[in-house]
């Protein structure tokens, strides 16, 4: 799912291309994408783009008359830009678009991989309706260490959950939370109420550094072009999506916890003092055979001696 760094780069690319341009025509290819009926979608046609804004992981396109189009790409939604004019919807991409926005100077499309339709489009009128799509999470890059600690301390959560809760922090999801916690050398299962002052400072610094670093990296990779390689997995990541691969700091195999559609990736040596966190499905299946330390895991992998 595109998170703060990805959405920031998307918005920068859109700012360069559609700010001040008139939205001439809207073609909705899949009705399930649109989640609101009033104001009507077609009422956005003929209006110029006057603002672009990030609301957590959402992209808000502001049009004349205080009309807003709010896009949430969810896991598999992606944006594509075609300069004036494409030779057909979705040209250059295998997937046909769910939405086509034709501007004066080009066309913006939204595609979604897979069969599950999770991406969404909402139309809002005015700031009051727009605020309904802001989950209220703290903007970490604009917050002090004290504000950060206070917000994460309101309720006792695991660090993984606290970082990814959109009502606590804005724009952080599964991928960058893994990277933040690895940089901070903290367990994803550590409880917020148990952190000491030094650990809070590490978490705050790591959160800001990770988000800033990856925003700059993605901006550089785009090189002024519209970002097309938006993914949750990047070669330069330390642990996210790197299960079984060596940690770039200590060389220990990266481990994971899988649940529902998500997974948490971590280094047991850098983050959990050599302990393996229990994977709900595997540890329940293996019971007493579940290895609880790096050493036990490594021993289990060694072939038995034949004498």
CATH class of the domain comprising 140-289: mainly alpha
287 burial (CB, 10 Å; 0-12 / 13-18 / 19+) is exposed
Alpha helix (H) ranges present in 225-279?
Answer: 268-271
Residues of the chain with CATH 3.20.190.10: 4-133
State both tokens at 237: 């990541």
Fold for the domain defined by 4-133: N-terminal domain of MutM-like DNA repair proteins (3.20.190)
In this prediction the pTM is 0.89
Residue identified by tokens 């992981």 is 57
Up-side HSE of residue 78: CA atoms within 13 Å toward CB?
18
138: nearest Cα among 204, 219, 75: 204
Residues of the chain with CATH 1.10.8.50: 140-289
Q: pLDDT tens digits, the chain, 307 residues: what are they?
A: 899 999 999 999 999 999 999 999 999 999 999 999 999 999 999 999 999 999 999 999 999 999 999 999 999 999 999 998 545 544 444 468 999 999 999 999 999 988 888 999 999 999 999 999 999 999 999 999 999 999 999 999 999 999 999 999 999 999 999 999 999 999 999 999 999 999 999 999 999 999 999 999 999 999 999 999 899 899 899 999 999 999 999 999 999 998 766 789 999 999 999 999 986 554 443 344 445 566 554 554 555 544 4
What confidence tens digit (pLDDT) does each residue in 260-291 have? 667 899 999 999 999 999 865 544 433 444 45
Prior bond of 41 cis (ω within 30°): no
What confidence tens digit (pLDDT) does each residue in 140-198 have? 999 999 999 999 999 999 999 999 999 999 999 999 999 999 999 999 999 999 999 99
């Amino acid at each position: 799912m595109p998170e703060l760094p990805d959405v920031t780069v998307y918005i920068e690319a859109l700012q360069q291309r559609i700010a001040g341009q008139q939205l001439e025509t809207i073609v909705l290819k899949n009705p399930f994408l649109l989640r609101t009926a009033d104001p009507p979608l077609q009422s956005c046609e003929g209006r110029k783009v006057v603002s672009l804004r990030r609301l957590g992981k959402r992209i808000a396109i502001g049009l004349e008359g205080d009309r807003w189009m709010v896009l949430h790409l969810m896991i598999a939604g992606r944006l594509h830009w075609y300069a004036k004019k494409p030779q057909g919807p979705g040209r250059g991409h295998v997937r046909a678009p769910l939405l086509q926005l034709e501007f004066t100077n080009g066309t913006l499309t939204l595609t979604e991989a897979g069969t599950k339709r999770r991406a969404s489009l909402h139309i809002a009128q005015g700031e009051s309706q727009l605020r309904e799509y802001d989950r209220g999470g703290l903007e970490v890059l604009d917050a002090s260490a004290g504000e950060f600690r206070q917000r994460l301390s309101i309720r006792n959560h695991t660090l993984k959950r606290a970082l990814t809760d959109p009502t606590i922090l804005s724009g952080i999801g599964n991928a960058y939370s893994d990277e933040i916690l690895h940089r901070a050398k903290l367990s994803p299962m550590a409880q917020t109420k148990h952190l000491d002052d030094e650990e809070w400072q590490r978490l705050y610094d790591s959160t800001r550094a990770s988000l800033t670093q990856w925003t700059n990296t993605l901006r550089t990779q785009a090189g002024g072009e519209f970002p097309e390689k938006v993914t949750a997995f990047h070669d330069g990541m330390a642990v996210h999506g790197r299960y079984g691969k060596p940690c770039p700091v200590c060389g220990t195999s990266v481990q994971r916890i899988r649940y529902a559609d998500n997974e948490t990736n971590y280094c047991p040596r850098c983050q959990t003092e050599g302990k393996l966190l229990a994977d709900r499905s595997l540890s329940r299946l293996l019971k007493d055979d579940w290895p609880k330390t790096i050493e036990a895991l490594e021993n289990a992998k060694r072939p038995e001696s034949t004498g």
